[in-house]
Amino acid sequence: MLNRLPHALVAAVALFLGVAFAQGSLSIATGGTGGTYYPTGGAYAELINKYLDGYTAAAEATGASVANAGFIARGESDIALALADTVLQAYTGTGNFGGEGQPPQLPNLRALGVAYANTVHLVTLEGSGIESLADLVGKRVSVGAPGSGTEVSAAAILEANGITYDDFDEQRLNFNETASALRDGDIDAGFWSVGPPTSSILDLATTRDIHIVSLVGDELENGLGASDVFAPVTLPGGTYPGVDEDVTTIGTPNVILAAAEMDEDLAYNFLSILFEHIDEVIAVHPSANNTTPELALAASPIPMHPGAVRYYQDQGYDVPADLLPPN
């Protein structure tokens, strides 16, 4: 959690007491333990604990993207992972933010980088008869945990194809709960928006024959049109046991998020240790192979933190004008 006292005051107190000055304890907001955010955030915390002098960090399990954007904006977390469509909505006060009865607009959000692209998985069991979005009508479907980027993405893709929650029995379950409900026959299908491969689907595939639905034709085109940050992606065959064919679906970048109020040197130094030791993050989850400056500068949906701008410029990259922080 962000320090409540100015660093200079904390330092003065520490000096008076004759103890070493630790600059801060950082909270990293992730997602459910069955997804990719949690191990990725845990790897970030380990880098901070090992290489960032004066700081310690811990990864926190959360409701994911929507919740994480609020944690960052309110200073309740320091670094977070969140889907780009959710981040853009939060920053601009559109979609699920800024309206009556919705979370407020969050203009102090800033990007540090992009971790990887999420892949929308629509998972069912073999023999369910579900081969398209249209086949979800009348079924029991998990659309993701409340306040998660999975639900934001699922709802947008469904709505773009003329399907609403009134058309099926929606369940708002996290990744592990969705996998358990599919395994036990309590739901017919479930959405994940996550970096593949993810542990909850891998575990499900060890006990049940799963099927991942491809989005094709008008369903794919309509879904892609639902958000400026959506892109077509292919989930390679063999990513999950028993799913041998490539799956065509939709991907969304995952933003490494901070608040505009974050100390500039902290933002800079975090990115320095992240890219210097990215092999340690890859060892935790292979999605980190995509954590590159090039992806950050191509796919960030909102302006970058000043410390991030300075870091990328120092590495020889041109930061696009639309990613420079507002004055």
Q: Tell me whether residue 313 is in a domain.
A: yes
32 and 104 together in one domain: yes
Domain stop point among 198, 219, 252? 252
Indicate whether 143 and 223 sit together in one domain: yes
Whether 2 maps to a domain, the answer reads no
pLDDT, residue 18, reads: 35
Q: Is residue 1 part of a domain?
A: no
Confidence at residue 23, expressed as pLDDT on a 0 to 100 scale: 67
Please indicate, yes or no, if residue 277 is contained in any of the structural domains: yes
User: Could you tell me if residue 133 is inside a domain?
Assistant: yes
Residues 137 and 248 grouped into a single domain = yes
Specify whether the CB–CB gap between 121 and 191 falls below 8 A: yes
Q: Please state, in angstroms and rounded to a whole number, the distance separating the CA atoms of residues 274 and 31.
A: 20
Q: What is the DSSP string of 60-123?
A: E--S-HHHHHHHHHTTS-SEEEEEHHHHHHHHHT-TTSSSTTSPPP-TTEEEEEEEEEEEEEEE
The answer on 316 and 267 residing in a single domain is: yes
Among 220, 252, 284, residue at a domain's last position: 252
**CATH number of the domain residue 69 falls in:** 3.40.190.10
Token pair 């240790």 is found at: 273
Q: Which of 213, 237, 252 is the last residue of a domain?
A: 252
Residues 248, 260, single domain; the answer is no
Residues 134 and 211 in one domain: yes
- Terminal-to-terminal C-alpha distance of the chain: 26
Q: What's the domain count of the chain?
A: 2
Number of residues that make up the chain: 327
In which domain, by residue range, is 70 found?
7-116+255-323
Specify if 171 maps to a domain: yes
Instruction: Give, for all 327 residues of the chain, the pLDDT tens digit.
Output: 333 333 333 333 333 333 333 469 999 999 999 889 999 999 999 999 999 999 999 999 999 999 999 999 999 999 999 999 899 999 999 988 999 999 999 999 999 999 998 899 999 999 999 999 999 999 999 999 987 889 989 999 999 999 999 999 999 999 999 999 999 999 999 999 998 989 999 999 999 999 999 999 999 999 999 988 898 888 999 999 999 999 999 999 999 999 999 999 999 999 999 999 999 999 999 999 989 999 999 899 999 999 999 999 999 999 999 999 997
| Statement to judge: residues 259 and 241 lie in one domain | no
* CA 159 to chain CA centroid, nearest Å: 21
Whether residues 165 and 245 fall in one domain: yes
Residues 97 and 149 in one domain: no
Residues 225 and 134 in one domain: yes
Q: Are 254 and 117 in contact (CB under 8 A)?
A: yes
- In a domain, residue 307? The reply is yes
Whether residues 103 and 16 share a domain: the answer is yes
What gap in Å lies between CA 138 and CA 9, rounded to an integer?
60
In a shared domain, residues 65 and 105: yes
Model pTM greater than 0.85?
no
CB 46 within 8 A of CB 67: no
